[in-house]
Each structure stands twice: as C-alpha cells, then as structure tokens.
Amino acid sequence: MKEKIVIAIGGNAIISEGQKGTVEEQYANISKMCPYIADLIEDGYRIILTHGNGPQVGNILLQSEAAKDRIPVLPIDVCVAETQGQLGYMIKQSLDNLLRERGIKKDVVSVLSRVLVDENDPAFKDPTKPIGPFYSKEEADKIAKTKNHVMVEDSGRGYRRVVPSPRPLDIIEQSAVKILADSGTIVITVAAVGFQLLRIMEC
C-alpha cells in the first residue's frame, strides 16, 4: 500500500465565483474533482480529504440570522459542524458513486472533527477569515453598520464578512482518522483548517 496523501478542497472551489451555491451547483463542482481523486485511489494511495467551508458556513449563518424571530440563532461552531456534515455527505456521495462505477471497493467515511485552539489567541479579537457571499461596498457598509459585522474586501471580487480564525493546535479526532486511513478507508475530515492538517496529524 502506498503512502497517504492529504487533499485539501477549497470551499470556493465547491461554490465557484458567480454561483448561488445551490446543491446542484455544489454537486457539479465536486463531481469535477472526483475523477482525479479516484485516479489516486486506483493507484493505491491512501487518501485523506479536507475541505474549506467559507461560503457554506456564511450561508448557514445567514439562514439562521434570517429566521431569528422564530428560532434561536446558531453559534458559528455549530454552523461549522453543519458544513462538515453537509459537505462530507456530498463529497462522499459523489466519490462513492464514481468508485462504484469503476469497480473500486473502498469505504468512504466522513469524520466530524474538532480543532483545539488557544482561548487567548489574538485572532479572536482580529477576525480575518472571509465567509459567506460577496457584497458591493455599499452593501458591506450597510451590513457593518446595522449588524456590527467586520467586512473586508476579498481578492478584488467584492466585500465579505470576516470571523476569527485562531491557529489550530491539535485535531481531537486525529487518532481515529489515522486508524481509518491506515485501514485503507478514504477519510473526509477537518473543515476550514486545510493544509494545517499536514503539520498537526502524524500520519
């Protein structure tokens, strides 16, 4: 069995620029990536998939805030967990179907993960992680004023809300991920941290 490969899928690759982020759009974007992942699996590599979630977690927060008069607003960590379930399911479905078509018998498992951070990390007071949709300057100024959100210009594409992004110190479920990956299971885990997984997990 060949070595492990960690593949990080960006949240903005799952919802491309100009898209609304419908389930159909996200499935279509994920499906474009899966053949490359399947090729590596077919070649015998052990795969760990991570994914971003900036657009998705921002959308879930917007949904929650829009319904605040009827149901309590969800905290951001719960919204992140929701994206892990949502995106893990969609990646698993797409990759599972493709592997089955190719006659490759591999388990694909999505592991809900938690990341340990320092509660005194200065990032909590200096939000830098863009989430959710893009806005014009006028829309961003209005949101910043009415909702007290920090809004920044993002890559020349418009303005987005930013939230704290403390440095990850550990992945609490890393031993479970290692056991699964060592067994040949394809693991989907760790939203938002991406390549930090390479430095944290001793796989």
User: 101: Cβ–Cβ under 8 A, 6 or more apart, which residues?
Assistant: none
**Alpha helix ranges (H) inside 4-156:** 11-14, 23-42, 54-66, 76-101, 137-147
pLDDT at 191: 74
Cα–Cα distances in angstroms (integers) from residue 174 to residues 6, 12, 19, 51, 190, in the given order: 13, 25, 34, 16, 10
Of residues 176 and 195, more confidence is placed in 176
116-165 confidence digits (pLDDT tens): 999 999 999 999 999 989 999 999 999 999 999 999 999 888 999 999 99
8-64 confidence digits (pLDDT tens): 898 788 998 888 899 999 999 999 999 999 999 999 999 999 998 888 999 999 999
75-124 confidence digits (pLDDT tens): 999 999 999 999 999 999 999 999 999 999 999 999 999 989 999 999 99
Q: Where in the chain is the domain with CATH 3.40.1160.10?
A: 4-115+168-200
Give the pLDDT band of residue 196 (cuts 50, 70, 90).
low
Give pTM, 2 decimals: 0.87
Q: What is the DSSP string of 97-111?
A: HHHHHTT----EEEE
Quote the CA–CA distance of 200 and 171 in Å, as a whole number: 7
Ramachandran angles phi, psi of 107, nearest 5° = -80, 135
Quote the CA–CA distance of 19 and 77 in Å, as a whole number: 25
Q: Is the pLDDT of residue 199 over 60?
A: no
CATH of the domain spanning 4-115+168-200: 3.40.1160.10
